Amino acid sequence: MAADTRWIQRYANYHKACGLLIQLTEERDFDSLSKLETEGLVQRFEYTFELAWKVLQDILLFSGYEFAPGPNGSIKTAFEAGFITNHDGWRLMQKSRNIFTHVYDENEILVMARNIYNEFAPLLQALDTKLETLSHNPDYQ
């Protein structure tokens, strides 16, 4: 592994964050989470998603793709390039990430947090699996 490959460095951080999010969703039933645990879930999701789009941006740049930098361009191009699947799910995840910082209604937060369990965590885990494979591929180092 080349030490100067930015996407691999960022992937290591993403892998850790994603692992913690997945661990929580696998070890605890959503309905058993306390308010504090739900808040922690949301915060963990926020920074995991942030790392996800940034590592996608890094691997796209490394691979030579031209696109508008930022989450919109990274998600769109990553889908077109086959790094992620379910473009609609990723767009919903991005929208939810942006909304979380402005929502204070507990019921809305619970609905969005349930999406983390049911929809977003599996998408983030699928990306982690894909990037893990690519990190061992000499063409991506």
Please state, in angstroms and rounded to a whole number, the distance separating the CA atoms of residues 100 and 42: 8
pTM score, whole prediction: 0.92
Please state, in angstroms and rounded to a whole number, the distance separating the CA atoms of residues 136 and 41: 30
Predicted confidence (pLDDT) at residue 1 exceeds the cutoff of 50? no
Pick the CATH number of 19-140 from 1.20.120.330, 3.30.1360.120, 1.25.40.20, 1.10.8.60: 1.20.120.330
Predicted confidence (pLDDT) at residue 3 exceeds the cutoff of 60? no
**What residue ranges do the domains of the chain occupy?**
19-140
The alpha helices in 28-70, defined as continuous H runs, are 35-62
pLDDT tens by residue, 66-108 = 999 999 999 999 999 999 999 999 999 999 888 877 777 778 8
More reliable by pLDDT, 55 or 108: 55
Please state, in angstroms and rounded to a whole number, the distance separating the CA atoms of residues 134 and 118: 26
CB 133 within 8 A of CB 83: no
